[in-house]
Amino acid sequence: MKRRVLVLAVAMAVLAVPVAALGRGSMDTRHEVFSTASVTEPGTSDNLKLVGHSSLRARGMNAAPAMYKDFLYVGNRTDGSAGHERAGVLVVNIGDPRHPRVIGEIGPPHEGTPSQSARELRVWPEKKLLIVMNFACSTLIHACAAGEDVWDFKFYDLSGSNAKHPKLIATYESSYKPHEMFLWDDPEQPGRALLYISVPHSSESPDDDTPNLLVTDISKARQGVFQEVASFTANPLYTSEDIETKDVALHSMSVSVDGSRTYLAYLGGGFLILNSSEVAAGSQNPRFQLLTPVANSPMWPNQTVHSAVKVFGRDLVVATDEIYGDLLDDFAFEDHGCPWGWAHVIDTSDETRPELVGEYKLEENTDAYCEGPSGQDPANTYFTSYSAHNPTILRRLGITTWHSGGVQVFDLADPTAPRQTGFFSPEPLEDVDTEDPALSQGLNKVVMWSYPIIRNGLIYLIDVRNGLYVLRYTGPGRSEIDGVDFLEGNSTLGDAARLDH
């Protein structure tokens, strides 16, 4: 029991799990098909041109961004305890993307408070609302202070001058502790939006029916009205052995533009697809239908499904596996460190039996690297992660932040062999206020983290340690990115509907 309590505490913060056994759809290593990119050194790039940069006050521990007009709002991975005096939500003017500049901060008493981290942000532009998801953060890997166990969503008005100085208008405390969220904007009903919220608890047994997924209607957020309309859990479908050995928990999800499908990144449980048509339609007492039997999830070695994002207009999903360094082996989890995690391409043409068809990895994700000097150097592997993190996927190109691997752009024309078409790894700042205890205390000081946001053909990214980067892609297929007005991997806003047709 003590072990599982510790696993749960760290899983809520790190959300990484032990290696899963080979299962259906796994890549046979005797004839595996994947693309391997070369080692990415800090301060190098190819086909990604730096347009602008802000150190974000060199505070370190930056988290998710959200965008509204000429403003970017950036959360924080740590809290507002002693030594973290600038841990609120920063307001950045991006009117001139060559010179983004911090112009303000949402601080105490609403943000940047002790023991609480502003980890996830979204903007719902139709209602001029900034959504900030706050939750209690870890003393181990987020350098937070122990304190009050508070988890909530704060809604800020961005109308008029409030875009520069967001004004708190409502707070929502969900029935279960959240970790990530996806914003689904109803394409058929203006003024209606749903928040899909992951609840990644670790179960003690298959009898635990606590929801892993919660859906909340935020259409009346300005009136302080929040209606939890649906929930789902797959835990009762797993065996006791699965739950004990893999720590099955939902990390994140994405939703199709029409809302009819929800794609689940189930950490130790694999990749699953839900029919969410009733939820999208606003039916009374809507229910999810699991389309992928748990036994039919594609599986692969080193599996810790972190994110799963559909390729627009194609029966494909790109999934990423996030695995931390060896630091976590000492506390709760095993099998961390080299070769970390990478990206997988899944064919969803048969939703009852999705199939793994391709992989994209860096040289650091190979056995050859792990067996070499760098892969054996504790200073490199203990506090560093060369792991895929959050993807924004178009029809042909995928853009994925990759922790110490920088940002990677890959071509999906042949989904069985995605190939690198661009990368960017920044020159790290000399010093920051707070190093990430698990990700930037090693030799590599690059920690690319956020879902890429594309605005007017430019790519906006957050590095946990080094701040905001604005990039222009100049490689093959560049017209696809150049033509985007707005797109992000964790909502259906902007160009999502156009790209899906």
pLDDT in tens, 447-462: 999 999 999 999 999 9
Q: For residues 238 and 249, is the Cβ–Cβ distance under 8 A?
A: no
Give the model's pLDDT for residue 332: 55
pLDDT at residue 410 tops 60? yes
Residue 218 · residue 181 · CB < 8 Å: no
**Which pLDDT belongs to residue 13?**
41
pLDDT band at 239 (very low <50, low <70, confident <90, very high): confident
Q: Which tens digit of pLDDT belongs to each residue from 153-187?
A: 999 999 999 999 999 999 999 999 999 999 999 99
Give the CA angle between residues 490, 195, 312 to the nearest 5°: 35
Whether the pLDDT of residue 500 is over 60: the answer is yes
d(CA 156, CA 153): 10
Query: In the prediction, which pLDDT does 27 show?
Result: 44
As a residue count, the chain comes to 501
Residue 121, pLDDT > 50, answer: yes
Residue 301: its pLDDT value, please?
85
| Residue 110 binned pLDDT confidence (cut-offs 50, 70, 90) | very high
* Type of residue at 290: L
Of 210, 198, 263, 209, nearest to 236 by C-alpha is 209
Span 322-363, pLDDT tens digits: 999 888 766 555 668 899 999 999 999 999 999 999 999 999
Is pLDDT above 70 for 146?
yes
What does the mean pLDDT of the chain come to? 90
Point out the least confidently predicted range of 94-98, 125-129, 299-303.
Answer: 299-303
For 287-315, what is the mean pLDDT?
95
The pLDDT score that the predictor gives to residue 2 is 30
Is pLDDT at 118 greater than 50 in this prediction?
yes
5-62 pLDDT, tens digit per residue, is: 333 334 444 433 322 333 334 444 333 455 677 678 999 999 999 999 999 999 999 9
Read off the pTM.
0.92
* Structure confidence at residue 330 (pLDDT): 61
Report whether pLDDT(198) > 70: yes
What is the assigned CATH class of domain 2-499? Answer: mainly beta
Q: Note the helical H segments in 416-495.
A: 478-482
Q: What is the mean pLDDT of residues 409-423?
A: 97
482-487 contacts at long range (C-beta below 8 A, 24 or more positions apart): 482/457, 483/457, 484/394, 484/454, 484/455, 484/456, 484/457, 485/455, 485/456, 486/67, 486/453, 486/454, 486/455, 487/392, 487/394, 487/453, 487/454
pLDDT at 389: 96
- The lowest-confidence range among 56-70, 83-97, 134-148, 354-368 is 134-148
For residue 17, which of 307, 323, 389 has the smallest C-alpha distance?
A: 323
Residue 207 backbone dihedrals phi, psi, to 5 degrees: -75, -10
Which of 435, 459, 420, 338 has its CA nearest to residue 387? 338
Q: What Cα–Cα distance (Å) separates residue 201 from each residue in 128, 188, 251? A: 32, 33, 9
